[in-house]
Amino acid sequence: MSEHSPQEIRAEALESLLVERGFLTGEDVDESIEVYSERVGPMNGARVVAKAWVDPDFRVRLLADATSAIEPFEFQGGEVQKLVVVENTPAVHNVVVCTLCSCYPWALLGLPPTWYKDPAYRSRIVREPRRVLVEFGLSVPDGKEVRVWDSSAEVRYLVLPERPAGTDDLDEAALAALVSREAMIGVAVL
């Protein structure tokens, strides 16, 4: 028998209580889990990134009007009503934050990581982005510009990472498997 973490025990107790009181059903819980683990999450953003890497026309549309460019994907979930994609290049590294709260493109990246919502990240990444990135294990060369993009209730940002060298022979699915949520926020590279 495996031991459950305190969070798992609390989640199970909360689920049981909500089902017992008639606020939801076990099927409601299963459906929510499916939405956030299979239909909403970083694999959606990774698919967008991979398509941009292999389809130059899509890349141009994505950078010009990301909201329209991703419509054919029919992503479920929210927070992509106004999406802007910013591209990392050899000269520029982009990183995303929401200084007011934790605005975040859920449909593309899933649930925000705890550190993204932390007031220290939200304030420090704006003031000292290079130092914060080093704390994530990413050292941006001195000659490379760092741009910080502040998401809001009106606009969400996604970083289009640079395509890793040596991946010319990979198809979209294999490329998508390389893309991390952290790279699409800009606190990591591939």
Q: Which residues carry out catalysis?
A: 98, 101-103
The CB-side HSE value for 84 (13 A sphere, CA atoms) comes to 14
Is residue 44 within 8 Å of 108, Cβ to Cβ?
yes
Tokens of 90: 């050899």
- Tell the residue number behind the tokens 């199970």, with chain if given: 12
Q: Which residues pair with 7 in a beta bridge?
A: none
Tokens of 186: 């800009």
- Residues 157 and 143: their CA atoms lie apart, in Å, by 24
